[in-house]
Amino acid sequence: MKIKLRIVLLLLSLILIISPLESKAYSGMHNPKQDSTELQIQDMLMLLLTPAIQDAVSNYYLKYLKEPPLVYPYQIDVIQIERKNGFRGFMFLLTVEVTPVVGPHISVGMDRITFEISAGPTVKLIKYNHIKDFELPPNWKNTLREK
């Protein structure tokens, strides 16, 4: 009987944790009004992952822009987190959506990036999906590479 109760509580916990993450993908920008432990942990994760995200973005935009755009931690939305090796396994697939910018925060595009995060810690780029481009203002067109 205790095992069944634990399973039910575990499933309920997973539903409560996963539901907010999935709803962010459809609700657009997530703008919390107050701080929480979950938000603090997510922000710390984004700070730690920003170098890997920045490398992936820089490599993608290198063929289009003369200088790499920047990605700020507050412009990263967590789309999905998945454990690859079951409950309490420490290998994750993390999918984020980013909005890289140039200059005074001029958005150049939107990208969805999936990383594998495992012990070590190691962060490995799994998939880079460019979603859309944003047109640069006329005074920033000189940052585009010649085709």
For the stretch 116-138, pLDDT in tens is: 999 888 999 999 999 999 998 98
Whether 29 is covered by a domain: the verdict is no
Range of the domain at 106: 38-143
**Looking at residue 26, what is its pLDDT?**
36
Whether 99 is covered by a domain: the verdict is yes
Q: Answer whether residue 99 shows pLDDT above 50.
A: yes
Whether 115 is covered by a domain: the verdict is yes
Helix (H/G/I), strand (E/B), else coil: 136: coil
User: The pTM is what?
Assistant: 0.73
Q: Answer whether residue 20 shows pLDDT above 70.
A: no
Tell me if 35 sits within 8 A of 43, measured CB to CB. Answer: no
Whether 50 is covered by a domain: the verdict is yes
Whether 90 is covered by a domain: the verdict is yes
Q: Answer whether residue 94 shows pLDDT above 90.
A: yes
**Looking at residue 15, what is its pLDDT?**
59
What average pLDDT score do residues 8-15 get?
Answer: 52
User: What are the DSSP calls for 11-69, one per residue?
Assistant: HHHHHHHHHHHHHHHHH-S---SS--HHHHHHHHHHHHHHHHHHHHHHHHHTTTBSSPP
| C-alpha triplet 81, 84, 89: angle, nearest 5° | 95
Q: What's the domain count of the chain?
A: 1
Cα 63 from Cα 107, distance rounded (Å): 17
For the stretch 58-73, pLDDT in tens is: 999 999 999 999 999 9
**Looking at residue 53, what is its pLDDT?**
96
Number of residues assigned to the chain: 147
**Looking at residue 29, what is its pLDDT?**
44
